[in-house]
Structure 1
Amino acid sequence: MNSSLKKSLYLGLAALGFVTVAGTVNANNASAKTYAKATSNKWIGAGTDNNVTFSGKNALYTKAGTLKGAKLVASTTTLNKLAKSKNSEDNFVAYRVATTNKGAVYYKVVSLDKQYRGWIYGGKSTKSFAGGVKSYTTFKNSSVSASDANKNFTFKKTGTTNNGTMLTYKAPMYTAYGAGRVIKSSAAYKNDVLTITKQGTRTREGDQWVYVTDTTNAKVSGWILRSGLTATNSVPTTKGVTVNYIDATNGKNVGSTVIAFSATNSDASNPVMNMNYKVSDISKVVPAGYTDNASAATTSGLALGFASGANSAAVVSATSGSTVNYYVAPTKSASIKFTLNVAKSDGTTSAISVNGLMDANGHTIQSSTLANLNGSVGTKATSAKILAAAKAQGLGTLTNPSTKITYTLTSTTDTEFGGTAALVYTAAKN
């Protein structure tokens, strides 16, 4: 090998050696700078304010992704699927926050079914969620519907099944971390009366959950799927307040109902219910023929509703299993008068003369009022009831011996009590 070739080879190998060494040094330096160090790691609580979902920008690791030894728990693809899930078990909560010497923020999160747990990049500030996580509302509250607010309920099925329909919960299932069951079996509370005081829907499923108050066993009160309840009109007297309806004109008991007890005071040792809050429920089932209209006249001088004067305090504040009086007044009653009319070919009617007219019993027409058909002024009797009353009174068929004409009752219209019904007949020559 000539000297110039040797020299070229020597210089080339030397240069290559330098590059290799330099590359090794740079690689080591780069490796040392790749891993960040945690400068803080704090517990931030696991309340619903820290419920989160994923943006899909970052994956989940066993530790902050830039720390040495971090291993993948869930890829961005997996987290995207979880973020779009229709199952509340895939809700997450952030409960720790860490910062690194690189100025990055990481949150430790866990799914509410505890299947996933790890650290995810959360931006550059601990003031709000960012990066791979964002705030998420797992449950949306709404007002209790008017129909449900005025009803009593029981468990539709009782038992130990943990699916949201047989038990009560501290929060709707998988919407709040650590909010488990209130009771583990509802078998002993099969006949308990429940009232709905709150409601809302889970964000992912869109199903309706309600908060029920057990009027007998407060320890049962909690959240349950609305579909797990059935409405009931039956309230045991021992678990409610019996309301006696008293005729204010004579003091007689004319009916009663039982209102589910629900304490309205804060004294747990002496729970009482202010019955004035239940007046609308009590008014709905006032016995037929009576009213609680305060303007109605009474002969006793008592105000309608709860007793006035010295009795009012005792009546308004009721305890579970007690009885109270609610004063009502008889509704003004009236009959219905009638006129006799014959249908004409042009669709109009004309009055039938009662002179010489005989009813189905062979009696002359003596009255213009339907007997045995009375009702509250302002309410209506149906045409069917009017026709039945007229026929029972012998007005179904009328005859006039002198004119040899027979009239057959065919129709009338709904008429208010206190008014006049037009009875319409067809005429035929004998």
Structure 2
Amino acid sequence: MADFVKPNVPRFSVDVYQNEHLPEGAGEVNAIVTVTATGGGALGGAVAAPAPGQGPSAAVALMVDCSGSMEYPPAKMRNAREATAAAVDALRDGTRFAVIGGTHVAQEVYPGGGRLAVADAVTRGQAKQALRRLSAGGGTAIGTWLRLADRLLSAADVTIRHGILLTDGRNEHESPQDLQATLEACAGRFTCDARGVGTDWEVKEVTGIASALLGTADIVADPAGLAADFTRMMETAMGKEVAGVALRVWTPVGAAVRFLKQVAPTVEDLTARRTEAGPRVGDYPTGSWGDESRDYHLCVQVPPAGIGQEMLAARISPVVPQPDRSVRSLGGQGLVRAVWTDDLATSTSIDPRVAHYTGQAELAQAIQKGLDLRKAGDIDGATARLGRAVQLANASGNADTAKLLAKVVDVVDAATGTVRLKTKVAEADEMTLETRSTKTVRVKK
């Protein structure tokens, strides 16, 4: 079967929102940078698969937990098989793919032989036949699954490389250091969505995998919901059109990036992932893009200056770094400025978008810290942090997070953040709140 021809790469645009005015002597500039890619599927959601012959070349590895715990309850393994079959059905014709069974070792379920299959009606049927033979037994060593996925995906000469990983338990058969080393080895080579099914897995492990590999993480508390979730994930993966996108940030002499965080649709701190790309230039990886829009909070330290002075504090543009250290520009550029003024009203006002996303980042931190304190038995500390989270969710209109918080605390007054910890909380509710704590709402237009 012939490969699909590469479609037109999406056109990227960059918009900057900031209050560029600083008081005399100030040296910190904050801006929200909105990066938008257009030219393919539906903006902001699951993307419709391109017409035959029009999609980018892609390879996908599906990693299914087959450890012994997947037998309990028996429906869990059946649901996992059905969900993986649904994901296979959502593959675009011509996509390379493989199914991996994960225990304390990684096994090639389909097609085998260190190869990838090419999706069509025949190979989809064969893959689903192979899935019916999957059974549970053994331990859990997720790093081995990811390394096999990397070997299979890297053999394909394709534009998009993506993994989908499902686990129901903790990574008990390899050390955290081994898993971390695997994530570092795989970062930038493929993206990966991770899902925890049931309530016996470790949230920080699953979210850590997705974070390191620039994918999404979520909980599927009821295994019956797996098939719908896997279908959505695969449809989104099939809508990706350009891989390896980085945000290139230039700063002038004397200035430096304090931090760069993705703040929508989720909070993800990219600061430590910077790679130097030349004098005063750094690249921050963002993974694969389809038709979508994401927001970033850029904070730049600049040399303090006097009244009336102004400077270009940063220049930010989406690029695809090439192996030969050249770069492919994706279009669009945002400029962040600093102007020093003695107008107190102007220099002390905070841009509404900067204020909103600062609150959303604090909301995620408050939830995570509050749940950690709750687990540690610090009732007062947990109440204070989760109360602050309720207050921030209420103020920003983050209704989804507010609903999740209400399952963990009794809300007395949302506006002031007055809450009481619930004495009994369903484990699935607590894990859902923790897993989804970084999801944000965008500024209302």
Q: Report the TM range for the smaller structure's normalisation.
A: under 0.3
* TM-score normalised over the length of structure 1: 0.20
Report which structure shows greater RCO (CA 8 Å, sep ≥6). Answer: 2
Richer in helix (by share): 2
Please identify the structure whose Cα radius of gyration is greater: 1
Richer in strand (by share): 1
